[in-house]
C-alpha cells in the first residue's frame, strides 16, 4: 500500500479571505479528483453546495429529475472510466437518485452520489424533507458516508473516490447535512488515502488454469463486463488472437471483442444467439473473464454447460463459486491474470470448425414479412453506417435486446445498457452523459414508447445544453417485451400493456425544441438513417413498428439454454 496525499486548495468564490465552508471543501475535493462535470438538481438541504458551484470550475448539468442525474453520471463514468458524480437534495431528491445508484451497483459502475441532508440537530425528528438515505441506500452502494464534521470532508471525498474506482467498481453515497456544509473550517485537513495495489493472481491458480486450457478440446471464452472495468480489453484481444478460442459474451461484455471478429459468436443467454448458446452447452471448458453467471445468461443453472469445467477469472472473490463452481478460480487483477496465462495456440481445429458451422446455420435473417420498418434491420444498418464512433445507449425492452443482437460494436464503451437492474428510463439520460463525455462520438439513444416516457423530461436538458444526441424511438404502442411474454407464457392474456394513447412523440420532441421526424415504411430506412446521422443537433426519429414483432430467439424462463425458441 502506498500512502497518497492529496492537496486541498479550495477555490472559494466569491470571497477568499474567509475559511472555506464544508460545501466549498466538497467542491475543492471534487476538483482534486479531476472531476470536471457533475449532474444534479438543487433543493433546500443541498443549497450550500449549489452556492459553492458558481466559479468553481465544475460544470454542472441541470437535469429535470434526479434519477436522470444518476443515470447520466453512470454513463459518463462508463465511457470515461472515471467516477461519475451526481448531486441531489434530501428527501425526495435523494430517493429519486436511488434507482440510478442501484443501476450503478448492479453493473459495477463507479459513481459518487452526494445528497443534501437536513441539519444534524434535526436529524431523527421527521424534519421537512428528512429521509434516512444513508440507511435506505445501504443494499445498493459499495459504501456510504454520513458526514458528521466538516473537517472530515476532504478525507471522506478522497476515500469515496478510492472505494468507487478500485477493485470491483461501484457507487458510493455521501450524505451531507446542511449545517455541516455551511460550517467554516479554519484548518482543512489534507486527505490521505491508502492506495490499494491491484492484487496479483495466485501463480498456483494460474498453473491450474493453464493445465485445464491445454487439455480442453471444446473451450469457450466467456466474456463479461468485468473485462472492460479491469481495463483488460487489449490484453484479452491479444490473448485470444493467439489462443483462438471461440468467444461469447454477456450483455455488458459486448464490444470487448469486436462483434464482427472471427472468433466471436455473439451474446449468450435468454436472447443470445443460438450459436453462442449451443457452443456453451457443448463446451468442455469455460474460460470465464469478469462475468458473474447472471441468470439471464445461464438460463436454468443446473443444465448450463453440463459438460464444462470452469476457469473463473475475477477481481471479486465473492463471485467465484457463487453460482457455478470453478475448477480453477483465479482471483485478482484480470489483466494480470490474462497476461500470465501462457497457453499458446490450442489444438482445437475441429471445435473451431463446429463453431463456424453453427454461425452459418443460425445466422440472423433480416427478411421480415410486411412493409413496416423491421427494427433489427434498422439497427444493423444504423450501427454499420455510423462506424467505429457509434455509441448506443439503450432503454429496456425489446429494442434493448435488438441492439445487443444486431448492432456492430468495436469497443465495450460503445454499448451502454442497464444490464443488471434493467431500468427503463436509462437511455436518454445515459445518452446525455455519454455525449457530454465524448462529444465527437456518434451517440444514439435507442428507446421504446414505454421507456421514453420514464425520463422524457430530459429532452429539456438536451435542448438546454445543445447535446447533439440522436434518439431512435421504436414505437409499437405497447410494452413490447411484457406483451411478448404474455403472448408466449401467459396464454395470450394481454394485461395492461396497450399504450394506444401515446402522444405524438415527434410533436412532443419538437415542443421541447428537438428536431423530430416520423418513419412508417421499410423503404424509408436508409433515408431515415442518413437524416439521423447528418443532423448536427439533437434529433429524434420516431419509428412506428409492428406490435406483433417479437425478439427471437428466446430461452423460455426457467428453461435450459439448450431449449431456445425460434420465430
Partner 1 sequence: MTTQTLHIEFESAEGALLRLIGLVERRGYEVCSMNLPTPATGTMILDLGIMARDGDRDIGVLRRQIHRLTGVRRVMGGKKSDKKSMGDHHGDG
Q: Provide the binding-site residues for partner 1, judged by CB under 8 A.
A: 134-135, 138-139, 142-144, 146, 148, 163, 167-168, 205, 312, 316-318, 320-322, 325-331
459, 512 in Cβ contact below 8 A? Answer: yes
Q: Are 18 and 64 in contact (CB under 8 A)?
A: no
Per the CB < 8 A criterion, the answer to whether 327 and 286 are in contact is: no
The least distance separating partner 1 from the CB of residue 287, rounded to whole angstroms, comes to 14
Toward partner 1, which CB reaches closer, 134 or 378? 134
Nearest CA among 136, 156, 36, 125 for reference residue 96? 136
Residue 271 CB, nearest distance to partner 1 (Å)? 27
CB of 406 to partner 1, least distance (A): 36
Specify the DSSP element, H or E, that contains 6: strand 2-6
Q: In the complex, what is the shortest distance from the CB of residue 329 to partner 1, in angstroms, rounded to a whole number?
A: 3
Distance of CA 102 to the CA centre of its chain: 11
Contacts of 19 (CB under 8 A, 6+ apart): 184, 185, 186
* Residue 240 or 331 having the CB closest to partner 1: 331
Contact 203, 267 (CB under 8 A): no
Output DSSP code: residue 492.
T
Q: Which residue has 435542448 as its cell numbers?
A: 463
Rounded to a whole number of angstroms, the minimum distance from the CB of residue 18 to partner 1 is 29
Which CB sits closer to partner 1, 92 or 135?
135
The answer to whether the CB of 41 falls within 8 A of the CB of 63 is yes
> Which grid cell is 468?
447533439
The grid coordinates of residue 32 equal 482534486
Pairing, β 2-6 against β 191-195: antiparallel
C-alpha cell belonging to residue 10: 479550495
Per DSSP bridges, beta strands 171-177 and 111-117 are: parallel
Q: Which of 282, 202, 206 is nearest to 239 (CA)?
A: 206
Task: State in angstroms the smallest separation of the CB of 153 from partner 1.
Answer: 15
The nearest distance, CB 375 to partner 1, in angstroms, is 37
d(CA 340, CA 259): 25
497's grid cell: 400493456
- Smallest CA-to-CA distance from 89 within 137, 50, 138 is with 50
CB of 282 to partner 1, least distance (A): 23
> Taking the complex as a whole, how short is the minimal distance between the CB of residue 2 and partner 1, in angstroms?
18
In the bound state with partner 1, the residue whose beta carbon lies nearer, of 132 and 441, is: 132
Q: Which is nearer to partner 1, 320 or 377 (CB)?
A: 320
Query: Given the complex with partner 1, which of 175 and 380 has the nearer CB atom?
Result: 175
Q: CB of 503: closest distance to partner 1 in angstroms?
A: 40
Please, what is the end-to-end C-alpha distance for the chain in angstroms? 56
Distance CA 432, CA 63 (A): 10
Q: Produce one character per residue of 469-485: b if its CB has 16 or more CB atoms within 10 Å, e if not.
A: bbbbbbbbbbbbbbbbb
> What's the closest the beta carbon of residue 49 comes to partner 1, in angstroms?
21
Q: Which is nearer to partner 1, 107 or 380 (CB)?
A: 107
Residue 84 C-beta: closest distance to partner 1, Å: 19
- For partner 1, the closer of residues 307 and 350 by Cβ is 307
- Around Cβ 74, how many Cβ atoms within 10 Å? 29
Distance in angstroms (rounded) separating the CA atoms of residues 555 and 511: 41
The DSSP result for 308-346, as a single string, is -EEEEEES-GGGTTTSS--SEEEES-HHHHHHH----S-
Q: Which is nearer to partner 1, 24 or 314 (CB)?
A: 314
- For partner 1, the closer CB: 213 or 401: 213
Of 321 and 466, the one with the shorter C-beta distance to partner 1 is: 321
In terms of CB distance, is 36 or 327 closer to partner 1?
327
Q: Are 262 and 280 in contact (CB under 8 A)?
A: no
Amino acid at each position: 500500500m502506498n500512502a497518497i496525499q492529496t492537496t486541498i486548495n479550495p477555490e472559494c468564490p466569491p470571497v477568499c479571505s474567509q475559511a472555506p465552508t464544508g460545501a466549498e471543501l466538497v467542491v475543492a475535493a471534487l476538483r482534486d479528483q479531476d472531476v470536471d462535470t457533475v449532474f444534479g438538481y438543487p433543493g433546500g438541504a443541498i443549497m450550500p453546495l449549489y452556492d459553492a458551484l458558481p466559479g468553481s470550475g465544475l460544470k454542472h448539468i441541470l437535469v429535470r429529475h434526479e434519477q436522470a442525474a444518476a443515470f447520466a453520471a453512470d454513463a459518463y463514468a462508463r465511457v470515461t472510466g472515471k467516477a461519475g458524480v451526481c448531486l441531489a437534495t434530501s428527501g425526495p431528491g435523494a430517493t429519486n437518485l436511488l434507482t440510478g445508484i442501484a443501476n450503478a451497483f448492479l453493473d459495477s459502475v463507479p459513481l459518487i452520489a452526494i445528497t443534501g441532508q437536513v441539519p444534524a440537530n434535526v436529524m431523527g425528528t421527521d424534519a421537512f424533507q428528512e429521509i434516512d438515505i444513508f440507511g435506505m441506500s445501504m443494499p445498493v452502494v459499495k459504501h456510504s458516508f454520513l458526514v458528521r464534521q466538516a473537517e472530515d470532508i476532504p478525507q471522506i471525498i478522497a476515500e469515496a473516490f478510492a472505494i468507487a474506482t478500485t477493485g470491483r467498481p461501484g457507487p458510493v453515497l455521501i450524505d451531507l447535512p446542511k449545517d455541516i456544509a455551511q460550517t467554516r473550517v479554519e484548518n482543512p485537513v489534507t486527505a490521505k488515502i491508502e492506495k490499494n495495489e491491484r492484487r496479483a493472481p495466485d501463480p498456483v491458480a494460474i498453473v491450474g488454469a493453464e493445465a485445464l486450457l491445454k487439455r480442453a478440446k471444446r473451450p469457450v471464452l466467456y466474456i463479461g463486463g468485468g473485462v472492460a472495468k479491469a481495463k483488460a480489453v487489449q490484453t484479452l484481444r491479444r490473448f485470444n488472437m493467439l489462443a483462438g478460442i471461440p468467444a461469447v459474451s454477456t450483455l455488458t461484455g459486448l464490444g470487448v471483442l469486436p462483434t464482427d471478429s472471427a472468433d466471436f459468436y455473439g451474446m449468450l443467454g435468454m436472447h443470445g444467439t443460438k450459436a453462442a448458446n449451443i457452443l456453451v452447452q457443448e463446451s468442455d471448458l469455460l474460460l470465464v473473464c469478469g462475468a458473474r453467471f447472471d441468470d439471464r445468461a445461464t438460463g436454468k443453472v443446473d443444465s448450463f454447460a453440463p459438460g464444462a469445467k470452469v476457469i473463473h477469472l475475477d477481481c471479486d472473490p465473492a463471485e467465484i463459486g457463487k453460482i457455478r463452481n470453478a475448477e480453477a478460480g483465479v482471483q485478482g487483477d484480470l489483466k494480470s491474470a490474462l497476461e500470465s496465462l501462457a497457453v499458446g495456440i490450442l489444438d482445437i481445429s475441429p471445435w473451431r470448425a463446429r463453431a463456424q458451422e453453427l454461425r452459418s446455420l443460425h445466422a440472423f435473417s433480416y427478411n421480415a414479412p410486411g412493409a413496416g420498418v423491421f427494427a433489427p434491420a434498422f439497427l444493423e444498418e444504423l450501427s454499420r453506417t455510423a462506424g467505429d464512433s457509434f455509441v448506443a445507449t439503450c432503454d429496456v425492452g425489446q429494442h434493448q435486446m435488438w441492439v445487443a443482437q444486431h448492432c456492430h460494436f468495436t469497443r465495450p464503451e460503445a454499448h451502454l445498457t442497464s444490464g443488471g437492474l434493467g431500468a427503463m428510463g436509462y437511455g436518454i439520460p445515459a445518452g446525455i452523459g455519454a455525449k457530454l463525455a465524448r462529444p465527437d462520438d456518434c451517440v444514439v439513444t435507442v428507446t421504446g414508447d414505454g421507456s421514453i416516457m420514464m425520463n422524457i423530461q430530459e429532452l429539456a436538458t438536451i435542448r438546454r445544453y445543445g447535446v447533439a444526441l440522436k434518439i431512435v424511438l421504436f414505437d409499437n404502442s405497447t410494452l413490447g417485451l411484457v406483451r411478448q411474454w404474455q403472448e408466449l407464457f401467459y396464454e395470450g392474456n394481454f394485461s395492461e400493456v396497450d399504450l394506444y394513447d401515446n402522444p405524438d412523440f415527434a410533436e412532443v420532441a419538437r415542443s421541447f425544441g428537438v428536431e423530430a421526424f416520423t418513419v412508417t415504411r421499410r423503404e424509408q430506412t436508409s433515408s431515415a438513417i442518413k437524416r439521423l446521422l447528418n443532423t448536427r443537433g439533437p434529433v429524434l426519429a420516431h419509428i412506428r413498428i409492428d406490435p406483433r414483432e417479437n425478439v427471437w430467439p428466446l430461452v423460455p424462463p426457467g428453461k435450459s439454454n439448450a431449449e431456445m425458441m425460434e420465430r
